[in-house]
Every structure is written in structure tokens, then in C-alpha cells.
Amino acid sequence: MLTESEAWKLLDTVPDPEVPAVSVVELGIIRELRCRDDGITVVVTPTYSGCPATEVIGLAIRDTLAAAGAGRVELETRLDPPWTSDWIGEAAREKLRAYGIVPPTGRAAVGGAQPIRFVKQALSCPRCGSRDTERLSEFGSTACKATYRCKSCLEPFEYFKPI
Amino acid sequence: MVADMTQATPPSLEHVEYVLRLGDNALILGQRLSEWCGRAPVLEEDLALANMALDLIGQSRLLLTHAGRLEGKGRDEDQMAFLRVERDYRNLTMVEVPNEDFGRTTVRNFLFSAFQVLLWEKLVASSDSELAAIAAKSLKEARYHLNHSAEWVIRLGDGTEVSHARTQAALDYLWPYSAELFAANPTDDAVSAAAIGPAWGELEAAWEAMVLPVLSEATLVVPARTPFKTFGKFGRHSEHMGHLLATMQYMQRTYPGATW
């Protein structure tokens, strides 16, 4: 059987399949580990309701822990409190940036009872550092990312949205 | 998958019906938006529509799973999604009408996501704790859908002559369906009495305060209310629903219980 801290270390080697620069632990989706006599229970929260990576992540968690002799691995989904990009740690944010994805900053989308204006947010290009960038779309290759373009180096890049 | 529901009294039929409505709205609009995959006017919007469809289908999985547990007849999310007949679906008629063009799809996303944002904000405080957790999660996603669609409504409405005309036609078509958002039957009364969901009166004014300024900024004219009524949330659907279900249910009807 594994100890809780051994299990945390192992899970920190499981990458997010959509954003392999960070682990599932760094992403903040592992909420709790409970060691039992015959195995371990992993409490996971989804990033987005429809994230297609959720099931792949579950399989990777099972495989990694089972291969290390964790016994029976049980997964439990916890929705409350909902996942927030604030749970991505500082080190992981730098890993995202180095990978070419601008880490989340500022506030999540807010929908109040007032006219919604075009939101302008100046992000620094992860490649050349220029702040002369523009948003192409609020959505990208996955639900968690928006698509931007750098007007200096002309390269596209992704932004991990705050949520 | 989620924490056990420990309730002193069994959930009421109205409670099940209410959660089904929420689940079916998300499922059917998710199905409609997924029809855009590979066909949107530009790549960025293709990705955006597919992402919003995914969010909605993810929400519907949580909601239909919850509805199945409340119902207590052993039906899981797949049986709820794929093996019911048309009259058992409880989605708003607005979400089942065809996509038509990017204008109508965008206006519908805007009118519907404004409603969703306001509703999820209320449901975060629902007496049904599982529903409250789903609401808190869905709210974050719905806010992105609202921002995205509101920006496009303004861009299209206040755009070229052609984009304005198409967006106005979309609003003219969809506006009468919006009356159904706030229509009530005994289900709604029971649900608001049990503090499971809000009374519609609270939401209608807030919804108008949210959508009208954006429509005005988009230079669109809001049509007058007419006696036109639709009843999808009570199980009486438009002629479009059967076609949608035929496409959506095909695989499970042909190979019942198939998994992969």
C-alpha cells in the first residue's frame, strides 16, 4: 500500500492530457486522497463540465497508482466547490508560459445586468513578450483556453482563461 | 460519482421534472450547437460553438444523472438522454428549433445564455445541494457563453446591411419563443415553494434588463409580444424535435445499451 504523500508525489507525475506541461496535481483538480486498508480513494473535480479529458485523466490516475501497488483505486467526483483556475500554483503558471500558453490572470467572465462591452485585455506574447496582442476568440482548442495573436511576432498563442 | 443524497422525504415528481427541464435544455442546445462542428463560418467560431456544445453536454450529463437518481427508477444519464420519447423531454422549444444561420444560432445563444446565467445565479442557493453544486459549476461556463454571444450579437447587428438584416430576422423569429422561458405550471409553483428554484417573476425583469441594452446597442428592434405560445418545457414540442431526436437517438435505438 502507498502512503498519502507517496500517492501525491506519484500523481504529480500524471500530466493533463490536453496541457501536458502541468500535472493533475498542479492543475488543482485532485481535491483529496484517502488511504484505505485495501487501496486509495482519489477525489477529483472536473475543470469544465464537458472536458473530454476527464475520463482519460481518471484512467491515467488509476494506472499510475495501481502500477505503484496502491491496491484498489477508487475515483470520486466532487463538484463543490467548483474548480477555479486560481488553484493553479505559481510554479505551474510559469510552466504554462514556457509551454506557450499564457497563464490565467485577472477575473473570470462576469455577466451582470449591464450592457456587455467588448472586453480588451492586454496579454504579453509568451514568445516575444510584446503586449501588442489581440484576442481572436474566447474559445480555443479546448474549452479552458482562448485564442490570441501577437501583432509583433505575428504568432498565434493560447490563453488559459480565468474561471 | 457524486456524494449520496440523503433526504428525509423522497423527492417530489415536480422536483424530478424541474431537474429534467434543466438537463434537457442543456442536452438539446448542445446537440444543436454540435451540428455546427466543421461547418461554422470561420475556424475560431467552429471551435467556439463546439466548445459551448461540450460545456452544455457536460452540464446535461450532471443534470440527467441527478434527475435519474431523484427519480429512483435506476435510469442513468444515457437512458435519460437517448431512450425517452419526445413527449418526455422537457426542454424549451427555443433550444430545439433549427440553427438556420450563424445569426439565429448567435441570437439564440445570447437570449438563452442570459437566461442561464440568471437562473444559475439563483440555483446556487437551491435547497437541493447537488443542484446547487451543478449551478455553481455551470454558472462559470454560462458567463463565457453570454459574453461571447453578446459580443457577436452587437458585431452582427451593428455590422453590415446583410448581417443586420439576418440578425434582425433571427430576433424576429426567436423573440416569440422567449415567452416560454417564464411560463409556469404547477411544477414551477411547487419548486419555488420548496426553495428548489426561483419564482419566474424574479427573473423576467432581470433578463430583460440584461438583454435589451445589448439588442439596442446592436441596433436591433425588439418585436412586440404576441399571443404566440410554445410548450416544450411541458412536453409539447415543435415539429423540429422529432427530427432532432431521430439523429441524436439513432445509435442507442439501433443498438440499445451499446457502450464504447
What's the whole-number mean pLDDT along residues B85-103? Answer: 97
Q: Is residue B139 part of a domain?
A: yes
Interface of B with A in 158-197 (CB under 8 A): none
* Residue pointed to by grid coordinates 446556487: B124
| Chain A partners within 8 Å of B22 (Cβ) | none
What's the whole-number mean pLDDT along residues B144-166? Answer: 96
pTM of the model: 0.92
Give me the residue from A50, A113, A114 closest to B57, CB to CB: A50
Looking at residue A108, its pLDDT comes to: 63
Number of folded domains that form chain B = 1
| Nearest residue to B137 (alpha-carbon basis) of A44, A78, A22, A106 | A78
Q: Is residue B2 part of a domain?
A: no
| B242 part of contact set with chain A, CB < 8 Å | no
Is B2–A77 a contact, with Cβ atoms under 8 angstroms apart?
yes
Q: Is residue B44 part of a domain?
A: yes
| B27 part of contact set with chain A, CB < 8 Å | no
| B132 part of contact set with chain A, CB < 8 Å | yes
What's the whole-number mean pLDDT along residues B20-41? Answer: 97
| Chain A partners within 8 Å of B154 (Cβ) | 118
DSSP bridge partners of A76: A43
Answer yes or no: is pLDDT of B7 > 70: no
Answer yes or no: is pLDDT of B8 > 80: no
Looking at residue A2, its pLDDT comes to: 86
| A20 part of contact set with chain B, CB < 8 Å | no
Domain boundaries, chain A: 4-83, 101-109+117-160
Give the range of the structural domain holding residue B149, as residue numbers without chain letter: 13-254
Looking at residue A156, its pLDDT comes to: 93
Q: Which residue has the higher pLDDT, B5 or B64?
A: B64
- How many Å lie between the alpha carbon of A73 and the closest alpha carbon of chain B? 14
Answer yes or no: is pLDDT of B57 > 50: yes
Which residue of chain B is at minimal alpha-carbon distance from A52? B54
- The CATH number that applies at residue B120 is 1.20.1260.10
Q: Is residue B66 part of a domain?
A: yes
pLDDT tens track for B157-191: 999 999 999 999 999 999 999 999 999 999 999 99
Give me the residue from A115, A138, A141 closest to B214, CB to CB: A115
The CA distance from B65 to B79, in Å, is 10
Is B133–A115 a contact, with Cβ atoms under 8 angstroms apart?
no
Answer yes or no: is pLDDT of B45 > 70: yes
How is residue B255 written as a grid cell? 443498438
Give me the residue from A46, A110, A139 closest to B47, CB to CB: A139
Please count the other Cβ atoms lying within 10 Å of the Cβ belonging to residue B72.
11
Q: Is residue B5 part of a domain?
A: no
- Per-residue pLDDT tens, chain A, 163 aa: give them: 789 999 999 999 999 988 899 999 999 999 999 999 999 999 999 999 988 888 899 999 999 999 999 899 999 999 999 999 999 989 999 999 999 999 998 666 555 434 445 556 678 999 999 999 988 888 888 888 999 999 999 999 999 988 8
What is the fold of A4-83?
GMP Synthetase; Chain A, domain 3 (3.30.300)
Is A139–B206 a contact, with Cβ atoms under 8 angstroms apart?
no
| A140 part of contact set with chain B, CB < 8 Å | yes
Q: Is residue B3 part of a domain?
A: no
| Chain A partners within 8 Å of B54 (Cβ) | 48, 50-52, 143
Provide the mean pLDDT of chain B: 94
Give me the residue from A46, A77, A137 closest to B47, CB to CB: A137
With a threshold of 0.85, tell me whether the complex ipTM lies above it: yes
Give me the residue from B48, B138, B217 closest to A115, CB to CB: B217
Looking at residue A115, its pLDDT comes to: 43
Q: Is residue B259 part of a domain?
A: no
| Chain B partners within 8 Å of A78 (Cβ) | 2-3
User: At A52, is the secondary structure helix, strand, or coil?
Assistant: coil
Which residue of chain A is at minimal alpha-carbon distance from B217? A115
Is B51–A114 a contact, with Cβ atoms under 8 angstroms apart?
no
Is B54–A113 a contact, with Cβ atoms under 8 angstroms apart?
no
| A1 part of contact set with chain B, CB < 8 Å | no
| A8 part of contact set with chain B, CB < 8 Å | no
3-state DSSP of B72-121:
CCCCCHHHHHHCCCHHHCCCCHHHHCCCCCHHHHHHHHHHHHHHHHHHHH
Give me the residue from B55, B133, B206 closest to A113, CB to CB: B206
| Nearest residue to B229 (alpha-carbon basis) of B186, B260, B184 | B184
A137: CB partners within 8 A, 6+ apart: A146, A147, B44, B45, B47, B48
Q: Which of A54, A79, A135 to mutate to test the interface with B (most CBs of B within 10 A)?
A: A79
Answer yes or no: is pLDDT of B205 > 90: yes
Is A138–B144 a contact, with Cβ atoms under 8 angstroms apart?
yes
